[in-house]
Structure 1
Amino acid sequence: MTPSRASTSTDTANRNLAVAGVMLVIFLFAIDATIVSTSMPTIVAKLGGLELYSWVFSIYMLTSALTTPIFGKLADLFSQRRLMLIGIGIFLIGSTLCGAAQSMEMMIAARAVQGLGGGAIYALAFIIVGVLYPGQQRAKMQGIISGIWGLASVFGPLGGGVIVENWNWRWIFFVNLPLIAIATALIIVGLKEEQGEKRKPALDLAGAGALLVGLLLIFYALAQSAHAHHPLTAETAAIIAIGIAVLVIFYFIERRAPEPIMPLDVFHIGLYKSSTAVATLSAMGVFGAISYLPLYLQGVLGMTASGTGLVLLVLSMGWTAGSLLAGQGINRIGYRLVAIAGMSLLVFGYLLLIAPRAGAGALDVIIGSLAIGVGMGLANLTTLVAAQTAVSPHRIGVATSTLMLFRTFGGAFAVSLLGTVMLGRMQSALAQLKNSNTAVPPELWDKLANPQNLLQASTRAEIPVDLLAHLIPALGDALWYAFLTGFALMVIGIAAGCFMAGYTPASTPRPQK
């Protein structure tokens, strides 16, 4: 097999076509993560399966997380263009099946397929751009790609709402088809590859299998705990323990594999190791905020769903701006200072959420969301470019996908951790309130065990006024402790940023092996 890879010598016109195609498919992958949010009430009304609601979102991110490291490694061994087209093909099949779904179970299965293709697209988009552009240009282009991700997260819910209101909900998936065709044509025409030396690589099938099983178990447990009323169940702990045991087996497999799916020696490179730590911690910060700010805004401050959407829009736009700024900043002042600036903004954002012990006001949350978004953009782009530049050219694929895997795990872990903290505090408060409100029916207490139910008008209507007056501060207090946990993690992130080297992309020493 010939390990073909994108070429930096590709002429400008062809490179522009290829990058336009890559930008379009990364936009489609990112937008499909959020476009269903405003469409789900309509989809549930048509297909039923309300109890499976959350899995339409979770399964997409779960399966994309599984394929990201696999395709990242394959990109170092085989044709990157061919792998991108395979990923696009899987994504196309998934989109078609989503649009044709006749039940919620079919929808979840189709979203799983869509996520498998999306994970390949996600990894390969950043890998191809990383190969097509040298150091300084790479930072700028990766900033633009990251900015497109931020814009997609904004337009997803808006686009879903427009399509559902004016057409059939199935078109939120079918609209992908012509756009995928355009992107495919651009990549086929524009992406030229250099042919490497012919060889038959030894595929690490055992390592890939162990990694997939271990990640599947852990991500499933984290996703399940994020949706449960009692995250730390014995079943969840057992699944996580088994997943960790499988990953320990994976570690020993990788030590012996001739072509490991995740080469462990990349973690001997100081810049790569510190970049991975900062990327993981920054993802914890932003996904923790995205997951629990809506509950605070609506459940505690009484903001409407549209108002909450505008606050998250501020965060997303900040993410986009931070990515673009980082692309310029790391070329001038180096990785360390930009990463520290990003983590400092994340700390500042969380500080605004916890500084008023009685609870942050709307203005605090808006400014905090902007700071968190800009901070994530700075840290996200900086760690990506640093990781790609720290390794030899033939390892860009696995270095990129491994970083993305840690980032995804960080986000999933933070959602579960902050949820555990919040629910622990909330359940303590409910136990005290239950003793002094014996007239409240048991069914209502069961509903209140899940704080998300406080956002439903029907549930609030059942709650006595005097009890509601105690529940809202209790929820605010529980979320305060969750945000305090996030703040502590971001402080650790600043410390991790201090260990990043102060190189610029142009001055980074690069190993040849």
Structure 2
Amino acid sequence: MAVHTAAHHSSGQVLPFRESLLAMLGISFVTMLVALDQTVVGTALPTIVSELRGFELYAWVATSYLLTSVITVPIFGRLGDYYGRKPFVIVSIVVFTGASVLCGAANDMMNLVLARSLQGIGGGMLVGTAFACIPDLFPDSVVRLRWQVLMSSAFGIANAVGPSLGGFLTQYYGWRSVFYVNLPVGLLSLFFVWRFLPHLRHVEHTGKMRLDWPGALLIAIALGSLQLFVELLPKHGITLSAFALLGLAVASAISLWKWEQRCPTAILPVDMFRNRSLAALFTLAVLGGFTMFSLLFYAPLLFQGGFGMSPKEAGIVITPLVVFITIGSIANGRVVSRVKNPNLMLYIGFAMVALSCLGVVVATRSMQQWVLMSFMVVGGLGLGFVMPNLTIFAQQTAGREHLGIATALLQSLRMIGGMIGTALTGTLVTHMYKSGVRSALEGAGASHWFADLGDPQILINRDAQTTLVNQLTHAGHNGAMLLESAREALVAAIHLGLALAAVIAVVSVWQTRRVPPVKLQRKLEPVIHAD
């Protein structure tokens, strides 16, 4: 494999326009693959849980994916810095698409969670390598912002069709089809990446790279035990096993920090966390992930389970959230390089996300659809102002040496925020819903029906609802009223969960002041081109 330094074109890109366009199409299809999966699954999830029975694993369908992604993103971010990103992008597409087929074939919730874990490994490899390909191709950050519009558009197309497609496929072809839809997109992205993405490396290396496996293992233990602790606490209270998990998470995190200070090829370069600007951006990534994933996963459940919408109707209401993430990203690309203080976009973005969460918190079933959709528009625009800027600012601050790991770490931390957000919101919703239903049933002297009404999946499955109401009425209870009480309990529970997300968004606005003023400079540095 011949290695040579690629000459930069005057416009601040490594390749001529046509080659740049085809390479970016490859990365855009990869982005589409991940985005489509996240949005389609979110809308289909209530129906999946209703069919496979297992609300206790509802949050795990999301968090198993996030957990394995979080662990693999930094590993492959670092490997991509060392060996070049193209081989890992190709492998990740194959793993992700194969795992999607396994998800579609799952016959119970546990198998689905395991298949989602494998899908998360593929997704983590994709995010850790594909996103860092863009600064490789466009070292000039102003040129990069222009080209990122292409990726934002792909992200937007996937997000625009995702919720409605998820609702449509679930309603007419069954929930399994929402996973099989990844197959054609995966094959298309594989073709473009294989054929057109150049194999770029920053530095020419001799000898084998030593990967920090102890660091990777400690990350897995710390995050895995933290996740289990967050899941167990609301369900079982303060128990010995919950404390043991918390202790394991803290001990692993301390061990990780100490080990990474000594390890020459640390998976988490400690010096990056000492950089004031990067540390502030990393914190915002965690907070942003918390709010974003809470909104993406629990708004569909509110609209379907709480407000009684069909999957298709819920998909239509959710669509503006994901469409306007893209529109916000495109608008941001035009504005951020022209304003005197680019940090202003982070303040505006987080404030809009907080407003969107508060809008959903005050939402009622009688509220007109266009009002609910306007809350989604505000949230989408806010996230569109926040997410690309966190990435661009971190790449600008980290410099060429830590480009891959900084990009990967930012995505990882956003996923950690998402993992904590969906788990905390999920356990809060489950706990509060069960408590509300239990008190309603006790008041009606129907406590023994808790097994049927204690799982929110009954509020998604219309056939099961009709059967249950008839059974309750036959037993001398007001079935319709008890079902309505369950809906009210779910709405109140999700409102509380999203109120927490709104508080986190407000904290993010306050936290943004810790980011030192960022200047978008033009940097042209040589890159190793391996063909």
Same fold (TM over 0.5): yes
For the 8 Å contact 1:141–1:327, the answer to whether it is kept is no
Matched to 2:279, the amino acid is K
Structure 1 residue 302 corresponds to structure 2 residue 308? yes
Shift of residue 417, structure 1, vs aligned partner:
2.4
Which structure ranks higher in relative contact order (CA pairs < 8 Å, sequence separation ≥ 6)?
Answer: 2
Question: For residue 206 of structure 2, what is the aligned residue in structure 1?
Answer: 199
Matched to 2:378, the amino acid is A
Residue 495 of structure 1, aligned match among 506, 510, 515: 510
Q: Where does the alignment leave 5 or more consecutive residues of structure 2 unmatched?
A: 473-477, 526-531
Structure 1 residue 14 corresponds to structure 2 residue 19? yes
Give the SS at the match of 2:26: helix
Question: For residue 212 of structure 1, what is the aligned residue in structure 2?
Answer: 220
For the 8 Å contact 1:33–1:61, the answer to whether it is kept is no
Question: For residue 323 of structure 1, what is the aligned residue in structure 2?
Answer: 329
Shift of residue 104, structure 1, vs aligned partner:
6.8
For the 8 Å contact 2:27–2:130, the answer to whether it is kept is yes
Shift of residue 229, structure 1, vs aligned partner:
8.2
Residue 66 of structure 1, aligned match among 64, 71, 76: 71
Shift of residue 266, structure 1, vs aligned partner:
1.0
Question: For residue 92 of structure 2, what is the aligned residue in structure 1?
Answer: 87
Question: For residue 77 of structure 1, what is the aligned residue in structure 2?
Answer: 82
Matched to 1:399, the amino acid is A
Question: For residue 313 of structure 1, what is the aligned residue in structure 2?
Answer: 319
1:175–1:260 Cα change, 3 Å? same
For the 8 Å contact 1:210–1:249, the answer to whether it is kept is yes
Question: For residue 268 of structure 1, what is the aligned residue in structure 2?
Answer: 274
For the 8 Å contact 1:337–1:502, the answer to whether it is kept is no
In the alignment, the residues of structure 2 paired with residue 316 and residue 310 of structure 1 have an alpha-carbon distance, to the nearest angstrom, of 11
1:85-484 to structure 2, matched below 5 A, reads: 85-95=90-100, 97=102, 108-133=113-138, 134-159=140-165, 176=182, 179-192=185-198, 193=200, 196-200=203-207, 201-219=209-227, 222=230, 230=235, 234=239, 235=241, 238-333=244-339, 334-354=341-361, 362-430=369-437, 432-438=439-445, 440-442=446-448, 444-457=449-462, 458-459=464-465, 461=469, 462=472, 464-468=479-483, 470-484=485-499
For the 8 Å contact 2:215–2:256, the answer to whether it is kept is yes
Larger CA deviation: 21-30 vs 55-64:
55-64
1:304–1:340 Cα change, 3 Å? same
Matched to 1:342, the amino acid is G
For the 8 Å contact 2:212–2:263, the answer to whether it is kept is yes
In the alignment, the residues of structure 2 paired with residue 142 and residue 501 of structure 1 have an alpha-carbon distance, to the nearest angstrom, of 24
Deviations 1:415-462 (A, max 9, x none): 222334444544554454354322x142x2244444443333324624
Shift of residue 198, structure 1, vs aligned partner:
2.7
Shift of residue 311, structure 1, vs aligned partner:
1.3
Shift of residue 280, structure 1, vs aligned partner:
2.0
In the alignment, the residues of structure 2 paired with residue 307 and residue 168 of structure 1 have an alpha-carbon distance, to the nearest angstrom, of 16
For the 8 Å contact 2:429–2:494, the answer to whether it is kept is yes
TM-score by length of 1: 0.84
Shift of residue 284, structure 1, vs aligned partner:
1.8
For the 8 Å contact 1:295–1:452, the answer to whether it is kept is no
1:126–1:469 Cα change, 3 Å? closer
In the alignment, the residues of structure 2 paired with residue 84 and residue 353 of structure 1 have an alpha-carbon distance, to the nearest angstrom, of 37
In the alignment, the residues of structure 1 paired with residue 392 and residue 69 of structure 2 have an alpha-carbon distance, to the nearest angstrom, of 21
Larger CA deviation: 455-464 vs 12-21:
455-464
For the 8 Å contact 1:3–1:79, the answer to whether it is kept is no
In the alignment, the residues of structure 2 paired with residue 178 and residue 12 of structure 1 have an alpha-carbon distance, to the nearest angstrom, of 27
Shift of residue 380, structure 1, vs aligned partner:
0.8
In the alignment, the residues of structure 2 paired with residue 178 and residue 309 of structure 1 have an alpha-carbon distance, to the nearest angstrom, of 22
For the 8 Å contact 1:143–1:326, the answer to whether it is kept is no
For the 8 Å contact 1:301–1:361, the answer to whether it is kept is no
1:232–1:382 Cα change, 3 Å? farther
In the alignment, the residues of structure 1 paired with residue 180 and residue 311 of structure 2 have an alpha-carbon distance, to the nearest angstrom, of 27
1:3–1:44 Cα change, 3 Å? farther
Shift of residue 174, structure 1, vs aligned partner:
6.0
TM-score by length of 2: 0.81
1:231–1:317 Cα change, 3 Å? farther
Larger CA deviation: 10-19 vs 232-241:
232-241
Matched to 1:118, the amino acid is G
Aligned-residue RMSD, C-alpha:
3.8
Shift of residue 345, structure 1, vs aligned partner:
0.4
For the 8 Å contact 2:82–2:201, the answer to whether it is kept is no
Structure 1 residue 506 corresponds to structure 2 residue 521? yes
Matched to 1:59, the amino acid is S
In the alignment, the residues of structure 2 paired with residue 103 and residue 295 of structure 1 have an alpha-carbon distance, to the nearest angstrom, of 20
Give the SS at the match of 1:115: helix
Question: Number of paired residues?
Answer: 503
For the 8 Å contact 1:95–1:114, the answer to whether it is kept is yes
1:346–1:164 Cα change, 3 Å? closer
1:90–1:289 Cα change, 3 Å? closer
Q: Where does the alignment leave 5 or more consecutive residues of structure 1 unmatched?
A: none
